[in-house]
Amino acid sequence: MRIRRAVALVAGSMVALAAIGTAATQSGAATADSAASTGFKKGTLSGDTYLKVPSPTSTTFQPDGPYAVGTYTMTVSVTDANNVTYSTPVDVWYPTKIPTSPTAVRQTYNVGHWLPTSLQAIIDADPVKQAIEAQATFTEDAYQYAKTKTKRGVTTGTVPKPANGRFPLVLFSHGYSGFRDQSTYLTTHLASWGFVVVAPDQQSRVLTTVLGAPSPTTDPNSDVDELMATVQQFVAGNGGTAQAVTDPSQVIAFGHSAGGSAVERLASYLTATQGSSTYLKGFIGMAGADFKGLSSLSPPYNTMPAMPALLTVGGNDQIAAPSVIQTAYNELTGTKRYVELTGAGHLVYSDLCQISPGQGGLTVLASALGITLSGSLQLLATDGCFAPDNPVTTDWPLVDQLVVAGARHMLGFDVSDAGLANLATDYPALVTTDTTAQLP
């Protein structure tokens, strides 16, 4: 059984921060050692392995897929437009068989990892704050390799092996003051359906930078550079454990908030520079796009993307208003879809609202630590987490459905858009708008 344990997160102000909580446990669908053992047949398209779903519906991809998920972190070297070279960590989630080694354990992350050194020193000097920080741990639906020592001091263990096949690559771009692990409920879900998912820390807006650490780059499109550098790492054969089962010529990109803008600019850049031969087959913007319009950007980032697009936003979003995302959607000229989630806020696409649910979230936790969030950061840290917005876990299965069905349709795994169709009819309480254009 894949376990989805809700999150604990820290957010903060430019000057000082720390805060966290924990949440309840949620179960997903059972996993198996292979897709075949759960009744799924495998197909091959453009050299990639996919799970055959003869008649997908608007609920097919809500349960976790048949694969277990492995995860690891690698480092990618990036050279920006100013010819500055730096590195950024990238997390990878990939389809795997359920590990049998006792050293294969669930991956966890703690938001304190993204604190700048100066703020971490404040935590380290206070045992009470350390105890609170320790609660900021989220257990993912993914396995990592845990090293253990025998009586002779020898390290043992087995890295979770990738499942058999060759899987498309999916890029994830986090939002402003976010981080590479901020949406693991979704990145692990994608991997369970047969994708290799990668997420870099976007250095210009990662939480560490927002909280005062210096950014290694001043390039306004460094987030696009980082996404492309991650793809190139796999092209070069340096992708780590999942390298042999990853196809970097078949790529989908999705992003949250500012990450939605990043994946649209990536699509624009690759359309301008590679045309129809680009490896990017589609992009998904979640509560984010180029709000001022592509025409306001500099070449080649102002080229209309040639590949399919899916834009989605919460109806109650106060950061990225639905009207703004609709404008971005209307600007797109190719195959596209717009889905608005009734009663959802900005953070429905992330783990972040699962911070002491119902007990005040980040604001209360930050206050308990003597930290005051600025108005904009307070809104960014809580939009979508409290009534009257829907509980995020109410919408998570639908978001899972949207992203998996969208990625599969963009790649041609599902010929029809049945996995995305009739959402407003099938989910009258959750979907306000479901608009499509130029779908085949």
In this predicted structure, what is the pLDDT of residue 11?
Answer: 29
Cα(126)–Cα(14) distance, integer angstroms: 20
Percentage of the chain beyond pLDDT 90 is 60
Do 291 and 209 contact (CB within 8 A), yes or no? Answer: no
**Got the DSSP string for 210-274?**
HTTPPPS---TTHHHHHHHHHHHHHHTT--GGGGGGEEEEEEEEEEETHHHHHHHHHHHHHHHHH
Q: Report helix, strand or coil for 412.
A: coil
Amino acid at 72: Y
What is residue 1's predicted lDDT score, i.e. its pLDDT?
Answer: 37
Rounded to whole angstroms, what are the CA distances from 61 to 51, 66, 211?
11, 11, 37
Q: What is the pLDDT of residues 250-264, one digit of tens each?
A: 999 999 999 999 999
287 close to 355: Cβ distance less than 8 angstroms: no
Confidence of residue 105 (pLDDT cuts 50, 70, 90): confident
Residue 314 to residue 308: CA distance in whole angstroms? 21
Q: Which has the higher per-residue pLDDT, 196 or 122?
A: 196
Sequence ranges of the domains in the chain: 3-437
User: Which residues make beta-bridge pairs with 70?
Assistant: 94, 143
Cis preceding linkage at 388, omega within 30: yes
CA distance 274 to 272: 6
Q: What is the pLDDT of residue 131?
A: 75
Contact 266, 252 (CB under 8 A): no
Model-level pTM?
A: 0.88
Q: What is the 3-state secondary structure (H, E, C) of 312-377?
A: EEECCCCCCCHHHHHHHHHHCCCCEEEEEECCCCHHHHCCCCCCCCCCCHHHHHHHHCCCCCCHHH
Inform me whether the pLDDT recorded for 35 exceeds 60: no
Instruction: Give residue 19's pLDDT band: very low, low, confident or very high (50, 70, 90).
Output: very low
Q: Which two tokens stand for residue 147?
A: 């090293």
The pLDDT-based confidence of 361 (bands split at 50, 70, 90) is: very low
Residue 113 has pLDDT above 70, yes or no: yes
- 213 is written with which tokens? 């650490």
- With both helix axes pointing from N to C terminus, report the angle between 361-368 and 375-382 in degrees, rounded to the nearest 10: 130
- Asked if pLDDT for residue 128 goes beyond 90, the answer is no
Which two three-digit tokens encode residue 12?
Answer: 């903060």
Token reading at 256: 């949250």
3-state secondary structure of 424: helix
Nearest to 354 by CA among 381, 380, 375: 381
Rounded mean pLDDT of 389-408? 96
Q: What is the pLDDT of residues 269-280, one digit of tens each?
A: 999 999 999 999
* Phi then psi dihedrals of residue 235, to 5 deg: -60, -40
CB atoms within 10 A of CB 113: 15
Label residue 16 by pLDDT band (50, 70, 90): very low
Of 205 and 31, which is predicted with more confidence?
Answer: 205
* CATH classification number, 3-437, choose in 3.40.50.1820, 1.20.1250.20, 3.40.50.300, 3.20.20.190: 3.40.50.1820
**Residue 122 pLDDT > 90:** no
Q: Are 216 and 200 in contact (CB under 8 A)?
A: no
Residue 420 and residue 60 in contact, taking contact as beta carbons nearer than 8 Å: no
pLDDT > 70 fraction of the chain, expressed in percent and rounded: 81
| pLDDT for the residue numbered 431 | 94
Is residue 86 pLDDT above 80, yes or no? yes
**Tally: H helices and E strands in the chain:** 11, 17
**CA–CA distance, 318 with 216 (Å, rounded to integer):** 30
Long-range contacts of 369-372 (CB under 8 A, 24+ apart): 369/18, 369/19, 369/129, 369/132, 371/12, 371/13, 371/16, 371/17, 371/18, 371/19, 372/13
Residue 1 structure tokens: 């059984």
CB 62 within 8 A of CB 397: yes
